[in-house]
């Protein structure tokens, strides 16, 4: 079988999600760093992998795949089932809603390209970035915390096993800590993230573990 290659960036939360999924399934792969700070994601070589100029991209089964959530579902469908999504439709809907609240509503407005443009438009540089991150990550996680006030929340976002929702939550918590978001008010999120972070698949995917030396 062809080698599986993950094109990612150590601090990218979308890449972090896919690393957790690959590790959870024990899928052997090689990582190729795409340095966002050097603009490598906009180079023709990477645009051939992902015309959106974003990471991650995964070469697998003779295909180049983009979009972290769809990649994770593909991995579960072809290398699992690993229960990344619950078996029951209402459970699947809830896990997708939690995952999307992060991946589609918090993450895009906090992306490098978007925030770089905000800094440029406001002319306030780092100060604008810091305020922006705290506002949008804080508001977004506040909504997620309320979504987790649900009897279906267990040790993890949904029940007793990690799902796509947890794969999105942990990288977002990493970012929240990075930008100094006040996390004390999010007790459910903190407790779920702590349980996940103790698992080897999450630990091996952590940015500090994969950061180029
Ligand atoms: N929806 C995409 C988002 C990918 C994405 O936005 N990746 C970020 C890093 S986490 C990126 O490449 N940012 C580059 C930029 O904003 O210029 C996914 O889930 O894969």
pTM for this predicted structure: 0.97
Q: What span, in angstroms and rounded, lies between the C-alpha atoms of 172 and 175?
A: 5
pLDDT at 46: 98
How many angstroms is it from 45 CA to the middle of ligand 1? 16
How many angstroms is it from 151 CA to the middle of ligand 1? 32
Across the chain, what does the average pLDDT equal?
97
5-82+206-210: CATH number: 3.40.30.10
How many angstroms is it from 183 CA to the middle of ligand 1? 24
With 90 as the cut, is the pLDDT of residue 213 above it?
Answer: no
The CATH label, of 3.30.465.10, 1.10.1060.10, 1.20.1050.10, 1.10.490.20, for the domain at 89-203 is: 1.20.1050.10
Q: What is the DSSP secondary-structure string of 60-80?
A: ETTEEEE-HHHHHHHHHHHH-
* Domain locations in the chain as residue ranges: 5-82+206-210, 89-203
pLDDT digits (tens, 9 = 90+) for 185-201: 999 999 999 999 999 99
pLDDT digits (tens, 9 = 90+) for 2-56: 899 999 999 999 999 999 999 999 999 999 999 999 999 999 999 999 999 999 9
Q: Which of 3, 64, 62 is nearest to 30 (CA)?
A: 3
Q: What are phi and psi of 193, to 5 degrees?
A: -60, -40
Nearest CA to ligand 1 atom 6: 54
Q: Is the dihedral of CA 144, 76, 205, 63 positive or negative?
A: negative
What atom in ligand 1 is closest to the CA of residue 15?
10
């Amino acid at each position: 079988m062809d080698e599986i290659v993950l094109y990612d960036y150590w601090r990218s939360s979308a890449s972090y999600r896919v690393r957790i999924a690959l590790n959870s399934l024990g899928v052997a792969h090689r990582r190729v760093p795409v340095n966002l700070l050097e603009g490598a994601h906009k180079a023709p070589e990477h645009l051939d992998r992902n015309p959106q100029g974003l990471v991650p991209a995964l070469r697998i089964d003779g295909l180049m795949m983009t979009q972290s959530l769809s990649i994770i579902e593909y991995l579960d469908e072809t290398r699992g089932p690993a229960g990344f999504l619950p078996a029951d439709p209402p459970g699947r809907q809830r896990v997708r809603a939690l995952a999307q609240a992060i991946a589609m509503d918090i993450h895009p407005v906090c992306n490098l390209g978007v925030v770089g443009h905000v800094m440029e438009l406001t002319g306030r540089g780092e100060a604008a970035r810091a305020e922006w991150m705290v506002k949008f990550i804080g508001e977004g996680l506040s909504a997620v915390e309320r979504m987790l006030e649900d009897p279906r929340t267990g040790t993890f976002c949904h029940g007793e096993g990690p799902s796509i929702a947890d794969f999105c939550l942990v990288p977002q918590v990493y970012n929240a800590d990075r930008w100094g978001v006040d996390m004390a008010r999010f007790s459910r999120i903190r407790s779920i993230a702590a349980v996940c972070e103790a698992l080897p698949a999450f630990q091996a995917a952590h940015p500090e573990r994969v950061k180029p030396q």
